[in-house]
Structure 1
C-alpha cells in the first residue's frame, strides 16, 4: 500500500505537472516550460550548502564536477574513492539542477564519492545527436581526470543517454564502469512495446501525448532504432552489472522491464526493482518513504560492485 506522502505526490503531479505538457487547449512552448521548471527548481529546492561545483569547459557544453566540502579531492592517497558519472534527466528538453544536485549530494555522502555531471545541450534547440555528443565528450573528459572506480548513472532521458553512452564506450574500447544505475530510463524511442498497455497506463505525470512531444523534439527526424537513440535495440553483450529502478505507475515501465530481460539474455548481471504506486523518477522526491527505499536500493547496489 502506498504511503500517504506518495498519494499526495501523485495527486500533485496529476493536477499540476501533468496538465502543463498536455496539448489540449492553450499549451506552453517547451522553452517556456523549461524556464518555469528552472524557476521552481531554484525557488523551492535550496542548493546543498556543502556541495562544491567546478565547471569544466567542453566544445559546446560543460562538465560539472561536484564534491562535498570537507571531502578531500582525489589524490594518490584516495585512489579507491568512487565517482559517479551522472546524466541528469529532463525529457531531453529540460533540467532541474537543484533537484538533481540534492540527490547527487546525498549519494556522494553515502558513497564517499565525487560526481561528474554533463550539462548537455537541450532539445528542441539542439536535437539529436547534440546531447549525446556532449555526454560522450564529457565522459572522455571525465576519464582523463579520473583513474579510480566509477559508476554511470542516469534518470529518465538521462537514463537513455547513460545507457547509450555505455554501449558506445564499450564499442570504442573505453574504460567501463564498475556498474550502471538507471532510474525510470527511456530506452525505446521507437516505441515498439505494447501500445495498448502504454495507452492505458495510469501515470500521474506523463500522457502518451506528452511523451511523443518530447520524443519528437529530441529526434527531429532521426532514426529511432539507432542504439544511440534507443539502446534497448542495441547490442547488449559485454556490459557491467546494471540496476533498473522504476515505478509501476509510469508509462516508461515497460522500457525497464524489457531491458532487464534483454540484458539477462545477453549474459549480463542485471537487477531490477519496480515499486508499486510510484511515479516517474520517484527516488528524487526525498520526502516520500518509498523514495528512501529506492535510494537505499541504489546505494546497496553500487557498494556491492565497488568491492
Structure 2
C-alpha cells in the first residue's frame, strides 16, 4: 500500500482537498450530466484568468459530418513562430473549450505561440473514434491554415489524442514537429508498474480509469486499436520529438515511461520526466503548489523548444 503521506507535500494535499470539495471522489457514480456540471464548476473555481496581451477567438472548423469548435489564442502584436494544437483532458467525457481556457491562454502568453484548443466530441454521446476523428480534422485544418510548425499538446485524455494523431500522421507531407504529453493515458499494461503502485491514488484511481474506458468504447473490445491506445502500436519509428511529463502519484505514470522508451528504442527522440509527489490533474495547481508551478514552467519551456525545432534533452 503506497503511503501518500510521505510522497505528497502539504501544498499538494491542500490542492487535493480543495479539488475534492468541488469534485468528490465518487463523482463517477453520478450521471454524465451531473459529472459535467460538477467538473465545469470545479474548472470555474480554479480559473486563473488570461495573461496580459492574450486574446482569444472562438470559431469552428468544417469537418466531415460536423463542425469542430476551436478557440484560438494569440499574443497581441506578436508574430507567432509556431502553433500549438491543444487537446484537453477529462476522461473523454468531460471538459471543453472553457475547462482548459486559462491553461491555453498562459501557454500562449509564455511561449508567444498561437494556441488552438480543440473541442472534440465527447462520449457517451459520441464514442470512439469520434474524438480522434475530430482531432484529425483539426490537424488537417491546421496544416492547411498555418505555415508555421505545428506542435501537438494535451493532458490526460488529450495526451492520448495528441499521441494518436502523431502516430496517424507519420506519412503526411507535413507532420507535427513535436508533441508534449502531460500525464497521458496511452493504453499501457494495467497489471504492472504505476497501475499497481497507485491503484488508489488521490485524484485518479483504477476504478475511474475503467469507467472512462468503458464509456469511451461502449464496452467494446478495441484491443490493438492504436487510435485508442497508442502503446498498442508495433512501430514507434518516425514519431515527432516527444516530451512526456507525468505525475508520480498517478496510475498512468508508467504509460509515459513506456512510451518514451519505445520511441528511443526505435531511434527517435523522446524525454520522459516524472514529477515527484504530484498527482493527476495538477495543472490546476500551477499557481498554488510549488512543484506544480515548476512543472508548468518545464511544460512551457518544452513546448517552446519543440516549436523551434530544437532538442535539448
Aligned to 1:110: 110
Q: 243-252 or 36-45: which moved more?
A: 36-45
Distance 1:41 1:16 in 2: 9
For the 8 Å contact 2:104–2:115, the answer to whether it is kept is yes
Aligned to 1:145: 145
Is structure 2 residue 308 aligned with structure 1 residue 302? no
Distance 2:247 2:135 in 1: 26
How many pairs are equivalent? 294
Q: 278-287 or 88-97: which moved more?
A: 278-287
For the 8 Å contact 1:193–1:254, the answer to whether it is kept is no
Question: Any idea what SS the aligned residue of 2:301 has?
Answer: helix
For the 8 Å contact 2:70–2:97, the answer to whether it is kept is no
Aligned to 2:47: 45
Q: 1:9 aligns with which of 7, 15, 26?
A: 15
Aligned to 2:211: 213
Distance 1:64 1:58 in 2: 11
* Deviating 4+ runs (over 6 angstroms): none
Is structure 2 residue 256 aligned with structure 1 residue 256? yes
Q: 1:30 aligns with which of 29, 32, 43?
A: 32
How far is the alpha carbon of 1:43 from its aligned partner? 5.3
Unaligned runs of 5+ in 2: 1-6
Distance 1:41 1:208 in 2: 23
Distance 2:201 2:18 in 1: 12
Is structure 2 residue 276 aligned with structure 1 residue 276? yes
How far is the alpha carbon of 1:20 from its aligned partner? 2.9
Question: Any idea what SS the aligned residue of 2:278 has?
Answer: coil
Structure-to-structure mapping, 1:129-278, within 5 angstroms: 129-171=129-171, 173-188=172-187, 191-195=188-192, 198-201=195-198, 202-220=200-218, 221-234=220-233, 235-278=235-278
Q: 174-183 or 38-47: which moved more?
A: 38-47
How far is the alpha carbon of 1:303 from its aligned partner? 3.0
Aligned to 1:85: 85
Distance 1:302 1:155 in 2: 13
Question: Any idea what SS the aligned residue of 1:277 has?
Answer: strand
Question: Any idea what SS the aligned residue of 2:70 has?
Answer: strand
Change (3 A) 1:200 1:271: closer
Aligned to 1:58: 62
For the 8 Å contact 2:23–2:39, the answer to whether it is kept is no
Aligned to 1:291: 292
Question: Any idea what SS the aligned residue of 1:236 has?
Answer: coil
Change (3 A) 1:281 1:113: same
How far is the alpha carbon of 1:55 from its aligned partner? 0.7
Distance 2:21 2:71 in 1: 36
Unaligned runs of 5+ in 1: 73-77
Q: 151-160 or 41-50: which moved more?
A: 41-50
TM-score normalised per structure 2: 0.86
For the 8 Å contact 2:84–2:116, the answer to whether it is kept is yes
Change (3 A) 1:47 1:58: farther
TM-score normalised per structure 1: 0.87
Question: Any idea what SS the aligned residue of 2:90 has?
Answer: coil
